[in-house]
Amino acid sequence: MTNEMAGVFGMILAKNAPTMRMTVENLYALQQLQLQTGPVSAEREAMIKLLREKIPAQILGHFDRLMAQGRKGVALVRNGVCRECHIRVPSGTAASLIHPKDLYLCDNCGRYLLLPLDEIVPAAEPLAPQSVPVRKTRKKPVAVAV
Ligand SMILES: [Zn+2]
């Protein structure tokens, strides 16, 4: 990555990422609160209400549908894999999650994807797509019976 590009990414990060990232983080926090077992405290109720007010209704709607089905609404991404359905997240999506400009859903399970902060590699290390070993198709010479 050139310095110029890093600068652009920095700008994007400063401009857009806090809101998008915060939305998913709020969703995740909400999920943790809603899934919490034990006695419902007034504090927890207040926190849930506060978080729900911060999240746009449309986003909350999809989240609630997933939660109503007894599924989690937000999936963490670890090592490029959706932690809920264990399917690899496309590398393009995984890269976008570092500086989210939008919300991303898992292609497979439809949950909102959240890249935990400790999964974000420093900008100094370029996110090179992992080299996929090329399978060599070795053709065996066909023995022709004469
Ligand atoms: Zn998934």
Q: What is the pLDDT along the chain (146 residues), one digit of tens a residue?
A: 455 555 545 544 445 445 889 999 999 999 999 998 888 899 999 999 999 999 999 999 999 999 999 899 999 999 999 999 999 999 999 999 988 889 999 999 999 999 998 888 665 555 556 666 666 666 666 676 66
Please report whether residue 75 resides in a domain.
Answer: yes
Residue 121 burial by CB count (10 A; 0-12/13-18/19+): exposed, middle or buried?
Answer: exposed
Please report whether residue 21 resides in a domain.
Answer: yes
- What's this model's pTM, rounded to 2 decimal places? 0.69
C-alpha 93: how far from its chain's center? 8
> What's the pLDDT at 12?
45
Separation between Cα atoms, residue 19 and residue 87, nearest integer Å: 27
Please report whether residue 19 resides in a domain.
Answer: yes
Residues 100-120: tens digit of each pLDDT: 889 999 999 999 999 998 888
Q: How many domains does the chain have?
A: 1
Given a contact cutoff of 8 angstroms between Cβ atoms, the answer to whether 60 and 52 are in contact is yes
> What's the pLDDT at 17?
46
Given a contact cutoff of 8 angstroms between Cβ atoms, the answer to whether 100 and 23 are in contact is no
Amino acid at residue number 71: R
Q: What is the mean pLDDT of the chain?
A: 83
- Residue 138 vs residues 11, 102, 134, 142: alpha-carbon distances, Å: 49, 44, 12, 12
Separation between Cα atoms, residue 70 and residue 68, nearest integer Å: 5
| Distance from Cα 98 to the centre of ligand 1, integer Å | 17
Number of helices (H) and strands (E), helices first, in the chain?
5, 3
| Distance from Cα 106 to the centre of ligand 1, integer Å | 5
| Distance from Cα 108 to the centre of ligand 1, integer Å | 5
What is the number of other CB atoms lying within 10 angstroms of the CB of residue 124? 7
DSSP 69: T
Please report whether residue 131 resides in a domain.
Answer: no
DSSP 119: G
| Distance from Cα 63 to the centre of ligand 1, integer Å | 14
> What's the pLDDT at 119?
87
Q: Residue 17's domain spans which residues?
A: 3-119
Amino acid at residue number 46: A
> What's the pLDDT at 97?
94
Please report whether residue 105 resides in a domain.
Answer: yes
Please report whether residue 112 resides in a domain.
Answer: yes
> What's the pLDDT at 129?
61
Please report whether residue 38 resides in a domain.
Answer: yes
| Distance from Cα 31 to the centre of ligand 1, integer Å | 16
Please report whether residue 107 resides in a domain.
Answer: yes
